[in-house]
Amino acid sequence: MPNTDETQAAEPYAPTVLAQPAATAGTVVRGRLQEPTNALEEQSGRDELEAMRRQVVALQRISSLGVLAGGVFHELNNTLTPIINYAKLGLRNPDPAYRERALTRILDAGQRAAAITGGMLGLSRPGRDPNHRVPVDLHRLVQEVVLLINKDLARNRVRLEVQLMGRPFARVNPAQIQQVLINLLINARQAMPEGGVVNLRLTADATGHLAELSVIDHGIGIAPGNLRRIFEPFFSTKTGPDASGLGGTGLGLSVCRDIAEAHHGRLRAESRLGQGSTFTLLLPTCPAPAEAAARPGAA
């Protein structure tokens, strides 16, 4: 497609270091060998940057949770209503067959409520180690994201169409990948202020080595000049936060790109002004846990 911009790994920051005498590895001070301060300062700077990066990721996740909260509570209320009603009807009706049907409906609704709360808990508590990765069923992860985001989209007159082709697994931090998808879906909703259709697709590439998660909107699109800069920190095409208070900081897509690259993946953007945009998250696939355990020599 024209006007295509694919993210690449950011070049590492390389501080300028003044030349030092090559004869010594350190500096002698009062008979003791002192380590060069440059290396210590560089490590301290890297540690501070990493701490700030984690804080930005956490703040962006909290912002998304705030947007989702109202819709999730509404969805939970809708789920609790049939649980209460079928419980009352089952208590009043002595027919065993009717009671069994009522209990089945209660179980279905309870499982849906558990999936919704589980998704919110996972998003709010990504784990103590943000670098922890586990094999994740991306098919199921997408379904959990849909449960969390659907009400927010519907409230803004946006219909989500989901296509799940195949069942690829990837070794990821599930909360971070959910965070990327939710951010992309909210961006897509914001790109269509009059409402419309957003497509969410899961598939594998031709080699089967990459899973592709695409969010496609039919909104205002992005100008070619801006498309080249959308992943830069603090760059934003928005004039400010939307009615829900989200967006306008220029950090959302930058955080998404960092998460993708931390998972050895990529985030790709394509757009046509006035016709819409497609953002595709590509992640390396891995065997499903059962397949890995079945391999010869597997522990």
Q: Which fold has domain 132-293?
A: Heat Shock Protein 90 (3.30.565)
Question: Distance (Å, rounded) from C-alpha 180 to C-alpha 59?
Answer: 13
Q: Please write the tens of the pLDDT for every residue from 119-150.
A: 666 666 655 566 778 999 999 999 989 988 88
- Residues 158, 217 contacting (CB under 8 angstroms): no
- 64-101 per-residue burial string, b: 16 or more CB within 10 A, e: under 16: bbebbeebbeebeeebeebbeebeeebeeeeeeeebee
Mean pLDDT of 93-117: 84
What confidence score (pLDDT) does residue 297 get?
45
Q: What is the DSSP string of 8-68?
A: -PPPPP--------TT-SSEEETTEEEPPHHHHHHHHHHHHHHHHHHHHHHHHHHHHHHHH
Would you state the structure tokens that stand for residue 212, as one six-digit string? 């592709």
Looking at beta carbons, which pairs linking 104-109 to residues 24 or more positions away fall under 8 Å?
106/82, 109/79, 109/80, 109/82, 109/83
Single pTM value for the model: 0.65
Q: Please write the tens of the pLDDT for every residue from 253-289.
A: 888 888 899 899 999 999 999 999 999 999 999 999 8
- Residues 159, 197 contacting (CB under 8 angstroms): yes
Question: Distance (Å, rounded) from C-alpha 46 to C-alpha 38?
Answer: 12
Name the pLDDT band for 234 (thresholds 50, 70, 90): low
Q: Please write the tens of the pLDDT for every residue from 1-46.
A: 444 444 333 333 333 333 344 444 443 334 444 445 677 777 676 6
What confidence score (pLDDT) does residue 162 get?
96
Question: Distance (Å, rounded) from C-alpha 79 to C-alpha 195?
Answer: 26
